[in-house]
Amino acid sequence: MSIAVTQAALKMEAAGNELSPHAVIQLLLDGALERLDEAALHLRCGRDEEAGRLMAKAIGIINGLRESLDFDRGGEMAVKLDRLYAYLISRLSDAETDTGAFVLAESSKLLSELKSGWDAIPA
């Protein structure tokens, strides 16, 4: 089964070069959350392999966010975000069928809180 493109990716493609770096991060966070939600749905339906592929996609997005951190300009906040991203990647990488639902819920909650804070920053 192929994995559909996220709504966030479609928005990025449509907006092209018009997006600010702030908006790109917002859309990446949206995309990661979308993948986690899809993975949780597949896990509930017993489609563990598909859930695993979606978690891997979310990990890829989180890795992209992590690699974009600017430690020189971001200071302590960049270090804290790096730790959060590393934690999420570790948790999602280690998730098993019996712990997947909990890990997905935890990861979604943490990313949702981060997204709320990011959204509150004036663009």
Domain spans of the chain?
7-117
Model pLDDT, residue 99: 86
pLDDT band at 81 (very low <50, low <70, confident <90, very high): very high
- Contact partners, residue 101, CB within 8 Å, separation at least 6: 40, 43, 44
Model pLDDT, residue 96: 80
pLDDT band at 50 (very low <50, low <70, confident <90, very high): very high
Find how far residue 90's CA is from the centre of its chain: 13
| pLDDT for residue 9 is more than 90 | no
Token pair 């990313």 is found at: 111
| pLDDT for residue 17 is more than 80 | no
The pTM of the full predicted model, rounded to 2 decimals, is 0.89
Which carries the bigger pLDDT value, residue 9 or residue 40?
40
Distances 104 to 12, 16, 35, 71, 101 between C-alpha atoms, Å = 25, 30, 10, 28, 5
| pLDDT for residue 115 is more than 80 | yes
Nearest to 9 by CA among 25, 23, 27, 21: 27
Token pair 């990647």 is found at: 89
Give me the CATH code for the 7-117 domain, please: 1.20.120.340
Model pLDDT, residue 3: 67
